[in-house]
Amino acid sequence: MKPQASPEISPPRAGQEPELLVRARSGDREAFAALYNEHHDMVFRYLAGRTNRQLAEDLTQEVFARALRRIDTFSWQGRDFGAWLLTIARNIHLDHLKSARNRLEVTVGELHADAANRSAEEDALRGLAEAEAQLLVGAALAQLPASQRECVRLRYLAEQSISETAAAMQRTPGAIKTMANRAMTTMRVALGAVAA
């Protein structure tokens, strides 16, 4: 069931959106709530197709918070308000991906400083953990069909772009995205079953 901003506000009817936008820009909360009710599912589906459900819910809320803060920058030009929301959703999702990548980055200087402060026992435990992780990932990879395994190898291990992988596998970029997504989902399930 989708969240409703207010139970007595019904979604806007066709042709009513420009009036709602004018009212929402002037600070009318009910008008923005009606726009929220109309577009929430579409924004959520867009984000859920690119990430997990919980993160999609969080990002969807961020989309509408940003839209509310910046509604005065939207000018009606005959295009759907939903297209503007999807642009915001795409940007928020990309921002999230960039910040997730940055959280995982470690500078070379930090690696050397960390290595100097570790004991031999910590080094041995870390080496065992890395070896175990490689075995688990290798086992999950081995469970994939040959085409998905090759796709993962090219995309993530050989670090090829989607277009490079598509050319190497003689597939379309869309097929590569789908194949990589399915492969990673299968591997996550397999690795989750091992961890449980």
How many other C-beta atoms can be found within 10 angstroms of the C-beta atom of residue 62? 17
188 vs 78: which has the higher pLDDT: 188
145 within domain boundaries? yes
pTM here?
Answer: 0.46
- Could you say which of 103, 129, 150 is where a domain stops? 103
Measured CA to CA, the distance from residue 159 to residue 88 in angstroms comes to 28
Pair 21, 76: CB distance under 8 Å: yes
Split into its structural domains, the chain has a count of 2
Q: Which of 40, 74, 103 lies at the terminal end of a domain, its last residue?
A: 103
- CA torsion sign for 72, 38, 61, 101 is negative
* Residue 9 belongs to some domain of the structure: no
With cut-offs at 50, 70 and 90, classify the pLDDT of residue 80.
confident
Same domain for 91 and 125: no
Q: Please indicate, yes or no, if residue 147 is contained in any of the structural domains.
A: yes
Q: Which domain holds residue 141?
A: 120-195
pLDDT bucket at 115, cuts 50 / 70 / 90: low
110: in domain: no
Whether residues 95 and 51 share a domain: the answer is: yes
- Nearest-Å Rg of the Cα atoms of the chain is 23
Q: Is 148 strand, coil or helix?
A: helix
**What is the model's pLDDT at position 196?**
45
- CATH code of the domain covering residue 154: 1.10.10.10
- Does 126 lie in the same domain as 84? no
Q: Is the pLDDT of residue 30 over 80?
A: yes
* 165 within a domain of the structure (yes/no): yes
